[in-house]
């Protein structure tokens, strides 16, 4: 029963043909959240939202299950009280953490004068682990539209790639299809940051080949019609194209993908470009090393302090 029979081979061949057909048909067309995809997105998004709401305070669920409602004697009542207090402590920790994240996010948004819609991450990636996306619990009804910038307290998270009524899919900056205009700190030099190197590395390409990118340079978003300017992206860790014109570099993003929780969607642009205001103040370099560095390469970023 169920072994490698002619029938089962027939079935698998049919299924493979369907799979290849789907891939071929879908590869050429855009992949927006409409039609069947939209339905699945909104249904699963709702379920994911529910699951996250249930599993978030884990300690709470566990302790309330472990102590059913029985008031027969004093020991039970005390155990009940104990469980309730424990639950309260767990809740307090959760609330404190969340409020800190929220205030950090608020602080960053105020610095850049962004109008943000806060949202929680309710699903990470997809089941294959090859999609660099997260799903958040804010959607069209909250004012989120496609292509808006998403940030958290540390910096740039990504951009909105699809929205349903109550959820949205955010394409992370490290997605291979992601390409975001970036500007080097304290200069007006432009480039683009692209993903595809895994979650903790971005590739920065400088458009002006005459300028040397240096290790430690920081990047903010350039901004365009949809994307806002001035959101911190990351710091250059390695200049990859050393021999030639130093146009590409590896960038370590400020945002850690693994711990994403509270994010903000920037729904309206600030009246003026915030520049580098959002980057945290750089600690002063130790004095002995400063001359050696400025002698090695022309570094306008280090010479000009303003």
**Positions that interact with another protein (CB under 8 A):** 1-5, 7-8, 10-12, 14-16, 18-23, 25-27, 31, 36-37, 40-41, 44, 47-48, 51-52, 55, 121-133, 135, 161-162, 169, 171, 175-177, 196-198, 258-259
Closer to another protein by Cβ: residue 164 or 214: 164
Cβ 15 to another protein shortest distance, Å = 5
Cβ 285 to another protein shortest distance, Å = 33
- The strand pairing partners of 208, in sequence order, are none
No. of H helices and E strands in the chain? 6, 12
Closer to another protein by Cβ: residue 115 or 133: 133
Cβ 46 to another protein shortest distance, Å = 10
- From CA 64, how far away is CA 92, in angstroms rounded? 16
CB distance 233 to 194 below 8 Å = no
Closer to another protein by Cβ: residue 117 or 122: 122
Cβ 210 to another protein shortest distance, Å = 30
Q: How far is the first Cα of the chain from the last one, in angstroms, to the nearest whole number?
A: 77
Please compute, for residue 260, the number of CA atoms within 13 A of its CA located in the half-sphere on the CB side.
Answer: 33
Please compute, for residue 94, the number of CA atoms within 13 A of its CA located in the half-sphere on the CB side.
Answer: 13
CB distance 237 to 250 below 8 Å = yes
Closer to another protein by Cβ: residue 36 or 292: 36
Closer to another protein by Cβ: residue 50 or 297: 50
Nearest CA among 229, 230, 226 for reference residue 148? 226
Tokens matching residue 244: 């030639």
Cβ 64 to another protein shortest distance, Å = 19
- From CA 115, how far away is CA 204, in angstroms rounded? 27
Distances (CA, A) of 206 to 169, 213, 245, 275, 294: 29, 8, 10, 18, 21
Closer to another protein by Cβ: residue 258 or 281: 258
Cβ 243 to another protein shortest distance, Å = 22
């Amino acid at each position: 029963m169920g072994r490698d029979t002619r029938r089962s081979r027939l079935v698998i061949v049919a299924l493979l043909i369907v799979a290849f057909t789907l891939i071929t048909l879908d590869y050429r067309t855009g992949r927006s959240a409409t039609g069947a995809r939209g339905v699945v997105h909104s249904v699963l998004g709702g379920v994911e939202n529910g699951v996250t709401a249930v599993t978030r305070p884990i300690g709470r669920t566990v302790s309330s299950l472990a102590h059913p409602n029985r008031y027969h004697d004093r020991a039970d009542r005390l155990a009940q009280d104990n469980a309730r207090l424990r639950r309260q402590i767990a809740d307090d920790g959760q609330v404190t953490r969340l409020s800190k994240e929220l205030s950090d996010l608020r602080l960053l948004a105020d610095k850049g004068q962004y109008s943000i819609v806060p949202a929680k991450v309710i699903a990470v990636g997809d089941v294959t682990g090859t999609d660099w996306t997260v799903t958040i619990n804010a959607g069209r009804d909250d004012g989120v539209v496609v292509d808006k910038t998403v940030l958290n307290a540390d910096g740039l998270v990504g951009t909105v790639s699809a929205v349903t009524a109550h959820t949205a899919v955010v394409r992370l900056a490290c997605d291979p299809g992601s390409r975001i205009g970036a500007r080097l700190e304290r200069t007006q030099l432009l480039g683009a940051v692209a993903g595809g190197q895994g979650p903790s590395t971005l590739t920065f390409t400088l458009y002006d080949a005459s300028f040397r990118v240096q290790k430690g340079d920081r990047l903010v978003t350039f901004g365009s019609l949809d994307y806002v300017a001035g959101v911190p992206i990351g710091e250059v860790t390695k200049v990859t194209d050393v021999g030639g014109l130093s146009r590409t570099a590896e960038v370590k993003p400020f945002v850690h993908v693994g711990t994403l929780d509270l994010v903000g969607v920037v729904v309206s642009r600030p009246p003026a470009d915030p520049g580098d205001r959002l980057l945290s103040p750089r600690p002063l370099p130790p004095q002995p090393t400063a001359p050696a560095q400025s002698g090695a390469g022309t570094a306008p970023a280090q010479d000009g302090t303003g």
